[in-house]
Amino acid sequence: MTHIAYHVTTDLTPAQHIAAATAASKQDDAVLAVFRHENRPMTALDAHACCVAAGHRWPEGSTRRAVTNLYKAGQLVKLGTVEGRYPGAPHHLYALPAGQGELFVGRVA
């Protein structure tokens, strides 16, 4: 399944749109690499913390977008919710589909 990595919400020139879509696609790849490396269920905020620890510097919202894109593309599955940063605000828990994590243990993209 193909997904759109960047969601146009402002007026961009074609060149700006291509640059934004390329950057968003790279973020999707980096977030998926985090899930493969960690090989554990995580919220989007957990994934963002791992991305920051790996030296990536983009907003939490970009990681959330990447996780949503990966979920919609079938590369992640939802496992339920956990309590989030604020009491009463649940966060979805995501993981690689069953059997996928074992393929990537020890590899970092």
Res 85: pLDDT: 79
Q: 13-22 long-range CB contacts below 8 Å, 24 or more apart? A: none
pLDDT(101) > 60: no
| pTM of the shown model | 0.73
Q: What is the pLDDT of residues 41-85, one digit of tens each?
A: 999 999 999 999 999 998 999 999 999 999 999 999 999 999 987
Q: What is the pLDDT of residues 2-31, one digit of tens each?
A: 455 555 556 767 676 666 666 556 889 999
pLDDT(32) > 70: yes
Q: How far apart are CA 16 and CA 8, in angstroms?
A: 10
CATH topology for the 14-99 domain: Arc Repressor Mutant, subunit A (1.10.10)
The residue ranges of every structural domain in the chain are 14-99
